[in-house]
Amino acid sequence: MIRPLAIAALCTLLAACAEQTQQVALPTAPLPGEPGNISGLSTDQIKVAFGAPAFVRRDNGTQMWRYDGATCKAFFFFYANNNALTVRHVETLPRGTDIAADSTCLASLQVQKTVPTS
């Protein structure tokens, strides 16, 4: 049989627990702006510039392509534009200092084209 004093103590303890709320900090949002030479490119143009992606995710007509480098990763977000998918957003990890994509990272991930020697 539970005694009234035990019930009161339990209620007090539960009330104290309910008053304690944990606040979880959300990560900071990516900085606005897109690299001028990337935004609007098609999937074919990205493949020419960066090669095959390491990972592709498809969701309801949109795609996210991830490229992995030795020191960074790039994420290209493609959305429908007329009858083609084009880049609407790009981010890198680590991020850029003034936009969401670091230009040094993007340059390091680009396919190096060799010039034939004669």
Q: Which residue has the higher pLDDT, 55 or 1?
A: 55
Task: Report pLDDT for 35.
Answer: 83
**Distance (Å, whole) CA 56 – CA 68:** 12
Q: Tokens 């309910």 correspond to what residue? A: 18
The pTM (predicted TM-score) of the whole model is 0.70
Q: Which residue has the higher pLDDT, 67 or 83?
A: 67
Q: Are 62 and 79 in contact (CB under 8 A)?
A: yes
- 75 closest CA partner among 64, 86, 85: 64
Q: Which two tokens stand for residue 47?
A: 């493949």
pLDDT digit string (tens) for 18-47? Answer: 555 667 776 666 667 778 889 899 999 999
Q: Is 42 helix (H, G, I), strand (E, B) or coil?
A: strand
CATH topology of domain 30-109: Beta-lactamase Inhibitory Protein; Chain:B, domain 1 (3.30.1450)
Task: Report pLDDT for 112.
Answer: 75
Task: Report pLDDT for 58.
Answer: 96
pLDDT digit string (tens) for 41-69? Answer: 999 999 999 999 999 999 998 999 999 99
Q: Which two tokens stand for residue 21?
A: 């709320």
- pLDDT surpasses 70 at 84: yes
DSSP label of 52: S
Q: Are 108 and 46 in contact (CB under 8 A)?
A: no
Domain ranges of the chain: 30-109
- 49 closest CA partner among 31, 65, 30, 32: 65
